[in-house]
Amino acid sequence: MHHLVRKMTIAGLALTLFSGLAIPASAEIVSADNPSTTRSTSNTTYTISSIGLPYNISVDSHGMHQVPWYPDESAQAYSASTIKDGTFASAFLPRHKSDIFAPAIIDSMSGLTKPLTLTPNETVLQYLRPIKDISNSLSDADAVSGLQDEYAFNAWLFKALAEEELGTADFKTLQTEYSTTYRNKIITSAAIYGDTNNPASAYDDLFDNEGDFTAKAAGTLKTQGGAYHVNQDNPAYTAKQLSQLDPNGAKDAITKFFTQPMTNLLTKQADGTYQLDGAAVALQIKYGIFAFNTTPSTGTPTPSRTSRPVTVHYVDNHGTTLKADQTLTGSLGAPYQAKALDIKGYTLTQTPKNATGTFTDTAQDVTYVYTKATATETAVDTIAPKGSVIYATKKIGLYQQATFTNRARQQWYANKSRINRPMFLVTGYATSKNGVKRYRVKDINHLSKTDGKTGYVTANAAYTSPVYYAAKHATITVINPKGINAYSKKNLTSQQNHYRQGQVLKVKKIVAHNLTTRFVLNNGHYISANKKLVKAGKQTMPRRVQAKTALNRYTTANLTKRNHHYPQKSHARFTVTGWAYSNANNFSKGDTLRYQVAGGYITANPRLVHVLITDK
């Protein structure tokens, strides 16, 4: 049973973007910027900046529908940086402890963050061959035929188990279907994987006699269905719905999916990188398409309605096309959301009311209108890439919508010193009703009460800025109170040294690592170029200070837990070993400089202490 569970494949293809905008399973964006429309004569390598989660595709009389494996996840795709640094895994795995495939999904997504190299017109099936050890002696046509057999068997098995649970199964009929049709299908399909064992042996006992089938059906449906996210734990799959599976109904969808170019699973981002569809994750674990027979058995048939596409236009205020149209397709009644594009030299001035809606049986048009930007606007037109991190350089608000109002504001973030500035992960972009750019973000200040909040913040460079340096500086000063580590590798592994706060370091060059940067020191070691940890140039700070009045020393930078009192007449002197600020993780309040001295912290208020010696 476990061998076949590993081999058999029931689900998987994600088309939900990192921005959190759900696109139906059959949706495909067609434009000049979509790599699927590009034909090349040489291999092409794509930089992956985000990856989607897997889902099932369900096909019925109304079309194709996506059913996420993890519908409770706040996003259906995640940035490559959060996948590689473990942030995604540390949050995802605890939420899915009982899911046997959760660790495999983490491993698969981690491996897929590497650049993807594809041969010209490489199909999904060709991509799949080395992953699933599909024999090269099989032609593409035979391989697809085998996949169709596999899907047919899987769908029939779930249908049979669901019918038993509902009490509508006729065992004799199921037994005959198994022995004469579906047993042969699973044996035939196993040849794709070079499986020399008898894969049907795991099911022979189940269909040997009615008593065993009745006794084992519920447990088999729960165990195997749970492994493939096809059971009552997923509300999209009730026993009644599974009993309506059409084992042979998805042949066309299977053929279309496996013979399409792999580039269809890539969506180009604003910074030139690509989001990799969750199908690539599923292909490394399992994959599948379900077809449901929803034709009424009695009464008058309902007239068939066909979903029509939504065409998205990008024009200037004179009606001239600025970017190629995008065509969104999806199942009837499924939601769509058209995306505004950042067009260099232009400002979005009109967002259509039907930017979001549902697919209907009537074709729809969505039109974004832009106005040519002034020279000043173009000069300051900087935008942080999706998946990168920004921080607030002044007081800002986090809002529920792109048009900022007092009612929509969720949180104020106070103006903070550099090392305490609040950080946000950029998950997408939006514009206000007046065409002002906004970042859609997630609060990643893990020690604060605001951690995990999502919403919109300003994209004005005077208020928010990338948290990583983009240019080399000859010298930098470590400003993080805990210092900073240096590593021998660019991904900040294999620690080689530790530098304390206040140390000045010489920089040889700056290098990119995913959507972050690293400073390479003169000794060849790598350190983070995070502006909250290091500062360009030399940071001058006091080395010795003296109390002007009576003074207390505290255990914390918030000046709590007093641990010593110095009377005024002592004119106490202190060696400053570092500095910090109060309210480090409380973004509702500002912060105040403190000096770190032997035994704790003292005030840095110039009315209470004066500087004796400063770093040269």
pLDDT tens track for 243-254: 778 777 767 777
Exposed, middle or buried by CB within 10 Å (0-12, 13-18, 19+), for 579? buried
* CATH 2.30.30 domain position(s) in the chain: 389-466, 475-536, 542-614
Confidence of residue 18 (pLDDT cuts 50, 70, 90): very low
Give me the percent of the chain exceeding a pLDDT of 70.
79
Of 566, 525, 563, the C-alpha closest to 547 is 566
Return the pLDDT at 518.
95
12: left (phi over 0), alpha (psi -120 to 50) or beta: left
Residue 195 pLDDT greater than 70, yes or no: no
Return the pLDDT at 421.
96
Which has more pLDDT, 549 or 101?
Answer: 549
Per residue in 104-137, pLDDT (tens digit) is 788 888 888 999 898 888 898 888 777 766 667 7
Q: Tell me, which fold does domain 542-614 have in CATH?
A: SH3 type barrels. (2.30.30)
Exposed, middle or buried by CB within 10 Å (0-12, 13-18, 19+), for 213? buried
Q: At what angle do helices 183-190 and 140-166 cross, to 10 degrees?
A: 140
**Which tokens belong to 202?**
């795991």
Q: Tell me, which fold does domain 389-466 have in CATH?
A: SH3 type barrels. (2.30.30)
CA 412, 413, 419 angle in degrees (round to 5)? 175
Residue 220 pLDDT greater than 50, yes or no: yes
Q: Tell me, which fold does domain 310-379 have in CATH?
A: Ubiquitin-like (UB roll) (3.10.20)
| Amino acid (one-letter) located at 459 | A
Return the pLDDT at 584.
93
Domain 475-536 class? Answer: mainly beta
Residue 380 pLDDT greater than 90, yes or no: no
Least confident span in 179-188, 288-297, 420-429: 288-297
Least confident span in 1-10, 142-151, 236-245: 1-10
Across residues 369-377, what is the average pLDDT? 64
Residue 454 pLDDT greater than 80, yes or no: yes
CA 414, 417, 419 angle in degrees (round to 5)? 115
Confidence of residue 33 (pLDDT cuts 50, 70, 90): very low
Give me the percent of the chain exceeding a pLDDT of 90.
32
Residue 11 pLDDT greater than 60, yes or no: no
Whether the Cβ atoms of residue 203 and residue 153 lie closer than 8 Å to each other? no
Per residue in 505-546, pLDDT (tens digit) is 999 999 988 889 999 999 999 999 999 999 988 877 888 999
Whether the Cβ atoms of residue 24 and residue 66 lie closer than 8 Å to each other? yes
- Mean pLDDT for all residues in the chain: 79
Confidence of residue 444 (pLDDT cuts 50, 70, 90): very high
| Whole-number Å distance between alpha carbons of 485 and 475 | 16
Which has more pLDDT, 523 or 208?
Answer: 523
Residue 30 pLDDT greater than 50, yes or no: no
Return the pLDDT at 289.
63
Across residues 314-334, what is the average pLDDT? 81
Residue 20 pLDDT greater than 50, yes or no: no
Return the pLDDT at 191.
64
Pinpoint the alpha helices (H) of 58-177. 80-84, 87-95, 102-111, 124-132, 140-166, 171-177
Per residue in 259-308, pLDDT (tens digit) is 889 898 888 888 889 988 877 777 776 655 666 665 444 444 444 457 78
Q: Please report, in angstroms and rounded to a whole number, the separation of the first and last CA atoms in the chain.
A: 72
